[in-house]
Amino acid sequence: MRIGVIGAGQLGRMLAQAGHPYALQFRFLDSSPEAPGAKVAPIVVGAFDDAASLRKLSAESDLLTYEFENVPVGALTDVAAGRPCLPPVDALRVSQDRILEKELFGRLGIPTPPFRAVDTSDQLHAAVTAIGLPCVLKTRRLGYDGRGQAVLRRPADVEPAWARLGGVPLVLEGFVPFDREVSIVGVRSTRGETRAYPLVENEHRDGILRVTRAPWRNARLQRAAERHLRRVLDHFGYAGVLTIEFFVHGGRLVANEMAPRVHNSGHWTIEGAATSQFENHLRAILGWPLGDTRPLCPAAMVNFIGTMPDRGRVLALPGVRFHDYGKVPRPGRKLGHATILARTVAERDRVLRRLLRLVPR
């Protein structure tokens, strides 16, 4: 079985690594020949919306998938007409537009912050009046890892935010004074089998995920998150891994966004769960039985952003697994991660504090 992956970043590379024990073959499409996936499988070098490159990838593959959600939907739709492509392109289309995403959540009964579409300065001022301060102005498309957004705390923040972000379709969202951020990673197969990993707690800085602690145990909110997840999965007739990020506020979940792909907050599953999210994604799109999603022990994941820590000092810590993506360092770039495995939550958190002291801030 030859699997074509659109995008050859670290997520694509980890997908290929998960598939190697099953003798699956992989091909990548990426604009950079130096992308992490190129270290483990052949790569077609080309733009993601280049028809010739997509046709070449499709011709060399039996099944297509993707590792990030900014793949041009139009180009992918054309290719999907002649080759199976999973997760469904419609899920990708909705996830790329924050308005469509939140409208879907609303139809499925999944709570979200209040929001308004914004295309003009007048609409922005009207939306601020309707929603109130503080609030968050975001681009409707192409924003990730904190890009394309601004927090408005005072009336004086409105015009500078419009000057910086205006000119493209925007959305204004109410600011959620959350107690914590959590996410749930779930998976649904082509046969309709569905499983969910436990909720995890996430810490972001500058809009980029820095730390994940797994599992985050709250039986009531776990049930609620799984209900929300299943509604989305069933709505699309989904196959593959899907993640929903939530704010926890006032004892309830408020949906922030979804990602129709394997997700950074699920990296801990490589060593910390019975079956990793990457293996389960492959099982799902191939129609194989899904693997057990139970956590094996308390775990934590730390992203290495911009600069890699000293490898020897990290590896000296007990229960730590080290992942280097082989990228050229630059500010704000995810270069690797480490996962901590421990017997108890207290032990995990002790090692986590030691690890964080080694990670450049």
Would you state the CATH architecture of domain 2-85? 3-Layer(aba) Sandwich (3.40)
- Strand, helix or coil at 359? coil
CATH placement of domain 114-174: 3.30.1490.20
| Phi and psi, residue 56, nearest 5° | -65, -45
Could you please report the per-residue DSSP string of 66-89?
ESSTTS-HHHHHHHHTTS-BSS-H
11 Cβ neighbours under 8 A, 6+ residues apart: 67, 68, 261, 262
| Residue 348 dihedral angles phi and psi, to the nearest 5° | -55, -45
**Kind and range of the H or E element at 200?**
strand 200-205
User: Is pLDDT above 70 for 46?
Assistant: yes
pLDDT at 146: 55
According to the model, what pLDDT value does residue 70 have?
A: 82
Q: Domains of the chain: which residue ranges?
A: 2-85, 114-174, 180-358
**Overall average pLDDT of the 68-91 stretch:** 87
* Alpha-carbon distances, residue 356 vs 205, 310, 344 (angstroms): 13, 12, 18
- Give 361's pLDDT tier (boundaries 50, 70, 90): confident
Give the whole-angstrom CA distance, residue 269 versus residue 272: 5
Nearest to 200 by CA among 146, 277, 138: 277
Residue 128 has pLDDT above 70, yes or no: yes
pLDDT score at 285: 98
d(C-alpha 167, C-alpha 228), whole Å: 33
In the structure, what pLDDT confidence band is assigned to residue 144 with cuts at 50, 70 and 90?
low
Percent of the chain with pLDDT over 90: 90
The set of residues, in sequence order, having a beta carbon less than 8 Å from that of 201 and lying 6+ positions away, is 180, 181, 182, 212, 213, 214, 216
The three-state secondary structure class of 251 is coil
**For 299-312, what is the mean pLDDT?**
97
Output the six-digit token pair for 339. 């996962």
CATH 3.40.50.880 fits 180-358, yes or no: no
Residue 353 class from Cβ within 10 Å (0-12 exposed, 13-18 middle, 19+ buried)? Answer: exposed
Token look-up 């099944």 returns: 63
- Nearest Cα residue to 261 out of 65, 105, 74, 26: 65
What pLDDT does residue 76 have?
A: 85
Q: What is the residue type of 61?
A: S
149-205: pLDDT as tens digits = 899 999 999 999 999 998 899 999 999 999 999 999 999 999 999 999 999 999 999
Predicted local distance difference test score (pLDDT) of residue 207: 86
Confidence of residue 79 (pLDDT cuts 50, 70, 90): confident
Across the range 133-150, mean pLDDT stands at 83
Looking at every residue in the chain, the average pLDDT score rounds to 95
Q: Is the peptide bond before 84 cis (omega within 30 degrees of 0)?
A: no
**Rounded CA separation 253/264 (Å):** 20
249: CB partners within 8 A, 6+ apart: 176, 177, 178, 179
Rounded distance, CA 242 to CA 240, Å? 7
Give the pLDDT confidence score for residue 74 in this predicted structure: 85
Q: Tokens 């990730």 map to which residue?
A: 144
Q: How far is residue 330 from each of residues 106, 156, 206, 233, 334, measured CA to CA in Å?
A: 38, 33, 15, 36, 9
